Amino acid sequence: MNNVTFGSARGGYYETVAGGAGAGPGWAGRSGVHTHMTNTRITDPEILELRYPVLLRRFELRAGSGGAGRHRGG
């Protein structure tokens, strides 16, 4: 599970970040899906910037991060 968290004594922000699901002996993994400890949707980037004093510079799936095996991970 991947997490993003920031804050101060007045408040904070916590989000689980979709990382993907690993491959197995006969299948490829899935990219950018929540697979652990969550039943919520990720916060839209526009809402994050509207509600918190942050500027999101990049929000994307990282190409090629699944490995080069017979069944690529997510």
Evaluate the CA torsion angle 24, 31, 15, 60 in order and state its sign.
positive
**Whole-angstrom distance, CA of residue 70 vs CA of residue 63:** 17
Low-confidence ranges of the chain (pLDDT < 50): none
Number of helices followed by number of strands (H, E) in the chain:
1, 2
* pLDDT value for 23: 85
pLDDT given at position 39: 56
Please report the pLDDT score of residue 38 as a whole number: 58
Does the model's pTM come out above 0.75?
no
For residue range 15-32, list pLDDT tens digits in order: 877 677 788 888 888 777
